[in-house]
Structure 1
Amino acid sequence: MIFLVLLGLGLFLAIVWWYIDYYRHFKGVFNIPRPGWMFPIFGHVFLAKNATDAYWVLHQLTMTVGKGKAIRGCLGYFYGINIADPAILERLLTHTSVINKSQLYKYAHRWLETGLLTSDHEKWRGRRKLLTPAYHFKILEQFIDVFDKNSNILVQKLQREVGKNKTDVFPFVTLCALDTICETAMGTCVNAQQCADSDYVQSIKRISEIVISRGISVLKQFDFYYLFTQDYRDETKCIEILHGYTMSVIQSRRKELLAKQNENEKPKQIEENLGYKAKIPFLDILLQATFNGEPLTDEDIREEVDTFMFEGHDTTSSAISFTIYCLANNPHVQKKVFEEQRDIFVDNPQRETTYQDLQEMKYLEMVIKETLRLYPSVPLYGRTVVEDFSIDKYSFKRGTEIAFGVFSLHRNPEIYPNPEVFDPERFTLEETVKRHPFSYLPFSAGYRNCVGQKFAMMEMKATIGMLVRKFVFQEAPDSELKLKSGLILSSATGVNVKITNRVW
């Protein structure tokens, strides 16, 4: 009896505390509409039937309740505001009080720790400055043959799928992107496309699922509960494998560079390498870098390399897969992409891709941009307010979570007429300049925009261009997408197309 009384009292106090905390966070933005009743502790979690339809539910609520601008709500103990108004987004994304990432990113901390993606503004600022030279176009240009090499393996894998009623291209593309990011980030090959069942490949896949699962599960948000789950045990095993592999590569490469120094052979510095033909993986740049006058430790380097691995393969895999799907379902668009490829490669579709080729793929770039409008790889960006501040009629309190609703923003009919229609012509220069500059945010914007967006666009062009030169993609039976919520957009039913050989 005493136990039940104490349990009831504890529950009552928890609910009271939750309401007080909720009011503290939202008292300056009560003029932002809220979608109906909230359950104590759980908040609005029950509005979505399952994790698969969460983005659609959020989008519909933002368009209806929020009039396409903003709504407020909560998921467990995360109190958030979903913003989809370009004018407000611009002011928030360029505000120094909204530079820290959302607390939801903490679920990736055991793996990524506090690298460029997850670090707070002080550490992030220094690391961003340090890493920016790695994305100079001369550095990126050296990786085009890596894109080609791994895309050729992807072609061989998809060749076995020719003639089938349907093929889910997402797992094939994911392994290709993983091979590419490993070679460009670490200068090593994991042969993911040839050894898909390797411990490293499987660990990358599993830990990504776990991070996403924690973000959308109210119970797993509580560390005490999470410690007793199978996910925690799986995560611990995955981290041991991933950190162990990355650290072994770092230490091996550090010894190689040290040996060169001992032999009086000076390693090539970034500035020298702007005209240098040999490949310089991002790892080498980190090994030669200094932060506050000191070289980075192995642990510092590992968290940045692991961040490259996470950000550089999942997001690109999503974008490439959805682009293939859009081409299959819009044959008139695919025809124009192919004609552009034929104009560039003329009578030699087998030759290596060059940097100039990628610059000439103007229409393909428009297609990719339109795909990222409909299917943004990261549909929701999160930030945490670090200091109280006001914008117009809104007062944002320290600790409030702000979500930038890219998915809703990109499907707002007031910005993009007939938003569900796939139309690359939206991204001609004439059409682009008509829109608010913050109405299209597939790579975020402002202070923490994606440092690797040029790299990603080059990789996507090289891979999709080669695939279109080799294959015709067609709509497959029962191929309708069922978008799945997570840190990265995917489809619960796969990204299915029918593949046939292309006649050049």
Structure 2
Amino acid sequence: MGMFQLICFFCGGFSLKETSMGQKSGNNEIKEKYLGIIEGFSAIVMERFLKPWLRIKWIFNLSRLGQLSRSYAAVADAFYYQVIKERRELFQQEKEKNANQSAFEKLPNGGLDQDDPIDAPRRPAFLDTLLKTAEENPELTDQVIKDEVSLFMLAGHDTTAFTFAAFLYLIAKHPEHQQLVVDELHQVFGDSNRPCTSNDFAQLKYLDCCIKETLRMYTNTPLMLRSIPEDLQAGDFTLPKGVTVLLNVHAAHHNPDIYPDPESFKPERFLPENSIGRHPYAFVPFSAGPRNCIGQKFAMYELRVVLANLLRWFRFSVSDPSAPLETPTLLIVLKFKNGARLIVSRRSNIS
């Protein structure tokens, strides 16, 4: 993982951790270890995918990868259970202090700052919602809560981190598009340093186009597996019930019949007037249907907030804009094999 993507990985992880579990980042060793094992888990899953014999549980458990997987799981579980314990204690303390008011409502904004400008007042963190539900439903054990939170966390770490890195890499290689985004940001924010609000995002249409074009060119999960619940007719072929289908989303997003010149960065593809008639499943970076990504709205929200702020304050460039695009490698989620090397400079209009 390149240094810039590593920074994106940790920033995205801390942001997701704060929102899903209501916990701010700290120097706790177990938190740092937890963030560090996410990529390790991805490598293990990919290894099992490529080596069929490792899919046999007892063989995997006896292998070096099985031992490594268990050690990673132990660190992750320790982190989750520690956070659950801390949040439950806070929940109970607030409940005792405010016997006549819901402890859920009195939690300090799900762990976020009161002066956080994004859509205040805040909704409680995902973990707080689970803890409140657990009070009324004893079947919602700590293990069930841990499983729900871990799914949210594991699915959102390196996916968002890679998209951050890919967006800034593409925008650095295409300064003309970067300038269009900056001009749009200036129209909305002027020279002020005021923070973003959700009302601003409706006006940042070209930023959205650039994010979507990044997700098209560098779909962070380019392959998806789906089980067929019933016989499915696909052209001249019948896919029988129960088979697993590998969906090549990358190929769909690079289909020249839908996206002419698919290897070129053209955010204007996603302007409303250029999207008329395009099949709704021609662009599925978060999958679609009942098994789509549960965090897609959060991911898009996070991308808009972070990227808008970065481009307001910093200029991104590359040493050789004419160099071929970096080809990422697949490790469940795409990675830049040698990193995405960017030149970052502070914008002169920011004090």
- TM-score for the superposition, normalised by structure 2: 0.86
> What is aligned with 2:115?
none
Q: Return closer, same or farther for 1:267/1:276 CA change in 2, 3 Å cut-off.
A: farther
Among 97, 100, 104, the alignment partner of 1:268 is 104
Q: Which residue of 2 aligns with 1:323?
A: 167
Q: Aligned ranges for residues 379-394 of structure 1 at < 5 Å?
A: 379-391=222-234, 393-394=236-237
- Alignment partner for residue 332 of structure 2, among 479, 482, 487? 487
Taking the TM superposition and a 5 Å limit, the aligned residue runs for 1:70-469 are: 168-191=3-26, 198-263=32-97, 264=99, 265-268=101-104, 277-289=121-133, 296-348=140-192, 350-391=193-234, 393-469=236-312
Find the structure with the greater CA-based Rg: 1
Report deviation, 1:180. Answer: 0.3
Amino acid at match of 1:366: C
Measured in 1, the distance between the counterparts of 2:43 and 2:23 equals: 24
- 1:328–1:474: 8 Å Cα contact kept in structure 2? yes
Deviations 1:53-72 (A, max 9, x none): xxxxxxxxxxxxxxxxxxxx
Asked if structure 2 preserves the Cα contact closer than 8 Å seen for 1:379 and 1:407, the reply is yes
Shift of residue 431, structure 1, vs aligned partner: 1.3
Query: RMSD between aligned alpha carbons?
Result: 2.7
* CA distance, structure 2, for counterparts of residue 171 and residue 479 of structure 1: 22
Which AA in structure 2 matches 1:344? V
Separation (CA, whole Å) in 1 of partners of 2:29 and 2:198: 30
SS state of the match for residue 360, structure 1?
coil
Report Cα offsets for 1:351-398 as digits up to 9, x if no partner. Answer: 222121222211100000001010111111111224444455432223
How much does 1:203 deviate?
Answer: 2.3
CA distance in 2, matches of 1:355, 1:448: 27
Aligned-residue offset at 1:443: 1.1
Work out the number of aligned pairs and report it.
333
The answer to whether the Cα contact below 8 Å between 1:187 and 1:283 also exists between their aligned partners in 2 is yes
Question: Is the CA contact (8 Å cut-off) linking 2:42 and 2:331 kept in structure 1?
Answer: no
CA offset at residue 433 of structure 1? 1.9
More deviation, 476-485/460-469: 476-485
- CA separation of 1:396 and 1:290: change in aligned 2, threshold 3 A: farther
Distance 1:470 1:421 in 2: 27
Q: Distance in 2 between matches of 1:248 and 1:196?
A: 9
- Segment drifting more, 195-204 vs 215-224: 195-204
SS at match of 1:466: helix
Residues 481 and 195 of structure 1: CA distance in aligned 2, closer, same or farther (over 3 Å): farther
Q: Following the alignment from structure 2 to structure 1, what is the Cα–Cα distance between the partners of residues 29 and 171?
A: 29
If asked which structure has higher relative contact order (CA below 8 Å, sep 6+), I would say 1
The answer to whether the 8 Å contact 1:388/1:396 transfers is yes
| In structure 1, C-alpha distance between the alignment counterparts of 2:280 and 2:69, rounded to whole Å | 39
Q: Distance in 1 between matches of 2:31 and 2:24?
A: 15
1:208 is displaced (CA, Å) by 2.7
Between the aligned partners of 2:74 and 2:216, the Cα distance in structure 1 is 37
In 1, Cα distance between the equivalents of 2:7 and 2:160? 12
SS of 2:252 mapped into structure 1: helix
Distance 1:427 1:195 in 2: 43
Stretches of structure 2 that go unaligned for 5 or more consecutive residues are: 110-118
C-alpha contact (below 8 Å) 2:217/2:254 kept by paired residues: yes
Per the alignment, in what secondary structure is the counterpart of residue 353 of structure 1? coil
Query: Match for 1:174: what amino acid?
Result: F
CA deviations 1:54-96 (Å, max 9, x no partner) are xxxxxxxxxxxxxxxxxxxxxxxxxxxxxxxxxxxxxxxxxxx
**Which TM-score applies when normalising by structure 1?**
0.61
Residues 426/499 of structure 1: CA separation in 2 closer, same or farther (3 Å cut): same
Please say if residues 167 and 210 of structure 2, whose CA atoms lie closer than 8 Å, have aligned partners that are also in contact: yes
Alpha-carbon distance in structure 1 between the residues aligned to 2:75 and 2:166: 30
User: Is there any run of 5+ residues in structure 1 with no aligned partner, and where?
Assistant: 1-166
Q: Identity percentage over the alignment?
A: 30
Shift of 1:287: 1.4
